[in-house]
């Protein structure tokens, strides 16, 4: 998402690498800790950029990319989760 936005802003990116870091308490995930949180309490992103752009240009680009990212929007503003359970009895 950031690369097309950089091009639109006239920023030349030589390279872009994104790292995500999150911690997960497996007790909550496995349902074995009554007070353990389920999910990621925090996700940290690190953008490794090689560019001749100024730091404030890159900061503005990051902010715009996050604002238009479907993944970031879903994390920041959770959506309704709907579904159904379909059970079929085995013939045996």
Q: Per the domain annotation, does 86 fall within a domain?
A: no
HSE, CB side, 13 Å, CA atoms: give it for residue 68. Answer: 10
Contact (Cβ atoms closer than 8 angstroms) between residue 58 and residue 83: no
Q: Is residue 47 part of a domain?
A: yes
Residue at 87 is within a domain: no
Q: How far apart are CA 79 and CA 75, in angstroms?
A: 9
Residue 67 lies in a domain: yes
For residue 32, the enclosing domain spans 2-76
Residue 90 domain-assigned (yes or no): no
Is pTM, for the whole model, over 0.75? no
Is the pLDDT at 1 greater than 70? The verdict is: no
Task: State pLDDT tens for residues 40-84.
Answer: 888 998 989 999 899 999 999 889 888 888 888 988 898 899 999
In a domain, 89, yes or no: no
The tally of domains found in the chain comes to 1
Helix (H, G, I), strand (E, B), or coil: what is residue 77? coil
């Amino acid at each position: 998402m950031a690369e097309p936005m950089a091009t639109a802003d006239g920023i030349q990116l030589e390279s872009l690498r994104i790292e995500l870091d999150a911690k997960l308490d497996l007790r909550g995930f496995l349902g074995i800790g009554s007070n353990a949180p389920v999910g990621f309490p925090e996700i940290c992103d690190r953008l490794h950029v090689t560019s001749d752009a100024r730091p404030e240009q890159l900061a503005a680009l990051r902010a715009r990319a996050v604002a238009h990212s479907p993944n970031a929007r879903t994390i920041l503003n959770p959506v309704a989760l709907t579904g159904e359970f379909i059970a079929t009895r085995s013939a045996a």
